[in-house]
Amino acid sequence: MDYLPVFLRLDAQPALIVGGGRVAARKVAWLLRAGARVTVVAPELHAELTACINRTECVYLQRSFEPRQLAGMSLVVAATDDRAVNAAVSDAARKRNIPVNVVDSPDLSTFIFPAIIDRSPILVAVSSAGASPVLARRVREQIEALLPARLGRLARFTGERRRDVQKALGLLARRAFWERIVTGVTATRLLAGDDAGADSAFANELRTSQLTSCATGASGTGEVYLIGAGPGDPDLLTLRALQLLQQADVILYDRLVPEAILERARRDAERIAVGKEVGDHTQQQRIHELLLQFAAAGKRIARLKGGDPFVFGRGGEEIELLATHNIPYIVVPGITAALAAAAAAEIPLTHRRLAHSVTFVTGHAVEDTYLDWRSLAVPRHTVVFYMGLTQLPAIVAKLRAAGARADHPAAIIERAALPGQRVLRADLQHIAAVAAGEQVAAPALLIVGAVAAFAAADSLATLAAPLSPAAANSPPADALA
């Protein structure tokens, strides 16, 4: 270990910055955030530092460096582009036993600035000991992506209540209690911005802990996370989804959630497949029973759904169940299949010249008498059919009967955003035959509308008239209304 990681308390302590450029401005910003009283020495100043001086946040000495300027300083930073000046600062600071950092010169420094993740009062520092600052910043970015933005709020929340817990619980009970607080309902509510809900959950947990044996780790009612897993590519999961997958005790996952996404969950979490097959009308009841069973046992349950929980995912039914039984829940949106498929196939669902609106329809609704097929068949409108592969001939027939032209563009995206993705394009008259001939399999989406023929490489003239002459002369949308 080349450096001992330490955190210096600089509140109201004097610090000297030698240099007036952009790099010096960054160091000044960090020192000010730590509460230091900063003095800047430089013949000239960058605009950012000038603004700092004007706000009287730091002191400016418009002159060259002199060793006597180090008197009384707690630390010094040299951030000039003159190595001789930097070396002089380093030498003078070392002689006075003052910690010194020379930017980009570990050999002249007695301390270095790490890459910092700031969730005050939680701080994480990453260092490569000066060997690879770019790599250290990259590691910082990866860690930062996993830490909730309100993590510092959680630290302050728990800190404010430590004395109350010490009075209420014995020594052996406290650790189990705090483990449940920082990983359970209280933390989830606080990280979601629900301060009132966090206060209530904390008070309830404390009351329960006083009445039960905390040493056993017993807990009250659990909570449920309805998480949208997106199209299946784990890199398209939201940060919130990753965070909650890491703290869930149980994962109830759908059939189309791939192993690559399940690998992002806690290693010791119990995994239960609850995917529904076509025509299975009993599985949803089993899902409801599992949610209630695990919540009653105090578990944190991730209900992991493909796409988005509220787009043909029956998420609404599940939160009705949870609300009825007073079980806390959080909904985490995911990239729904229509958006993922359109992006993967480079098909804009709306386009200034081609489509002014878009509708999502489930293929199971083909026989729904309330579905307005005439509105779905208009030319300047995009329709995305979910789960419509088995109903494809019926969908085509309904659209044609409602006035859609035979040469109306259509596209099928199979395994969108996943390995083996295929995009098949044809007109409405031939799309079903193409799907059958290519043996398209689920998961697959059907996109119908002028945008289905879109290609980014087309010329502007082609984009202005992407359909065949017959389709281009079709009546406007309002003529079919």
Give me the active site residues, please.
254, 276
The two structure tokens encoding residue 258:
């791939």
Q: Quick one: DSSP state of residue 473?
A: T
At 170, the amino acid letter reads: G
Contact 322, 330 (CB under 8 A): no
Question: What whole-number distance in Å separates Cα of residue 185 and Cα of residue 388?
Answer: 39
CA distances from 236 to 197, 240, 416 (A): 29, 12, 12
Contacts by residues 187-193 (CB-CB < 8 Å, ≥ 24 positions apart): 187/154, 188/223, 188/225, 188/244, 188/328, 188/330, 189/328, 190/150, 190/153, 190/154, 190/157, 191/148, 191/150, 191/151, 191/153, 191/154, 191/243, 192/330, 193/150
DSSP string, 394-440: HHHHHHHHTT--TT-EEEEEESTTSTT-EEEEEETTTHHHHHHHTT-
Give the number of other CB atoms < 10 A from CB of residue 238: 16
Q: Quick one: DSSP state of residue 451?
A: G
The two structure tokens encoding residue 240:
């919130």
Beta bridge partners of 119: 122
Contact 151, 243 (CB under 8 A): no
Question: What whole-number distance in Å separates Cα of residue 444 and Cα of residue 439?
Answer: 11
Question: What whole-number distance in Å separates Cα of residue 286 and Cα of residue 303?
Answer: 13
Q: How far is CA 360 from the centre of its chain?
A: 24
Give the number of other CB atoms < 10 A from CB of residue 224: 26
